[in-house]
Amino acid sequence: MLRFDNLSKRYGERVLFEGLHYDASSGCFALNDESGSGKSTLLGILAGALEADSGDVWLGGHSLRGARAAAQAVLTYVPEDSMNWPEQTGREYLAQVASTRKTVLDDEVLALAGRFGLAPHLDKRFEQMSYGSRKKVFLSAAILGDTRVLIADEPAGGLDASARGVLAELFRTLGQTRTVFFTSYDEAFTQACEATRIGFADLSRAA
């Protein structure tokens, strides 16, 4: 459900990565590599937020280069510091995502938000929320609609122990039918998600 081929990115003279390949079906996959290796840049490219210098990404079988709208329609993207419009409330954001995905903001989503501890914060503006609360709003949107791929950059960052447990359970559940691809330095969290651990070396040699 997530595939990329021959991805390369450079900034000036610095080659961040080149020739990356991967093909992931359902399951959880944790990208763990050294700081500065380009993990956040790679995830931004996979989500269509950044442009690669070469290569292509397929989300749910749709090419980002050839069918961007269809590809992003099956994606939930959680950047490291999750922010939409600063003056938008969490509830408004979830309703917006629901409308975009042609569904409704139902009790299941609100229950997940409640398990994350978001109930007192949903009607706050993003600019009023903590780093962790903003991330929880984006993560709650993962179960809205019929998405196939979840891409998350350091999703456990800023979360308390209880919320991390909820997130690990969510990732395990989503991984049964979708592709969950995330970065994490936290080995305990990666294990709790029952995720396959990968590094850039694995992406470089994959065929």
| pLDDT computed for residue 111 by the predictor | 97
**CA-based R_g, the chain, Å:** 16
- On the question of pLDDT at 2 being above 90, the answer is yes
- The total of structural domains in the chain comes to 1
- On the question of pLDDT at 88 being above 80, the answer is yes
Q: How far is CA 79 from CA 40, 66, 155, 201, 206, in A?
A: 8, 23, 8, 23, 25
CA angle 129, 132, 137 (to 5 degrees): 75
Residue 175 CB neighbour total at 10 angstroms: 19
Of 65, 22, 55, nearest in space to 151 by CA:
22
CA distance 179 to 127: 30
Instruction: Read off the tokens for 102.
Output: 């042609």
Q: Identify the domain containing residue 131 by its residue range.
A: 2-205
pTM of the model: 0.92
Of 158, 166, 103, nearest in space to 131 by CA:
158
| pLDDT computed for residue 206 by the predictor | 47
Query: Amino acid letter at 176?
Result: Q
14-44, pLDDT tens digit by residue?
888 999 999 999 999 999 877 767 899 999 9
pLDDT band at 84 (very low <50, low <70, confident <90, very high): confident
Q: How many residues does the chain have?
A: 207
Q: Are the CB atoms for 74 and 147 separated by under 8 Å?
A: yes
Contacts of range 107-115, beta carbons closer than 8 Å, 24 or more positions apart: 108/143, 109/140, 109/141, 109/143, 109/144, 112/140, 112/143, 112/166, 112/170, 113/137, 113/140, 115/166
| pLDDT computed for residue 36 by the predictor | 67
| pLDDT computed for residue 204 by the predictor | 82
CATH number, domain of 168, equals 3.40.50.300
pLDDT band at 207 (very low <50, low <70, confident <90, very high): very low
147-169, pLDDT tens digit by residue?
999 999 999 999 999 999 999 99
Q: Are the CB atoms for 39 and 185 separated by under 8 Å?
A: no
| pLDDT computed for residue 98 by the predictor | 96
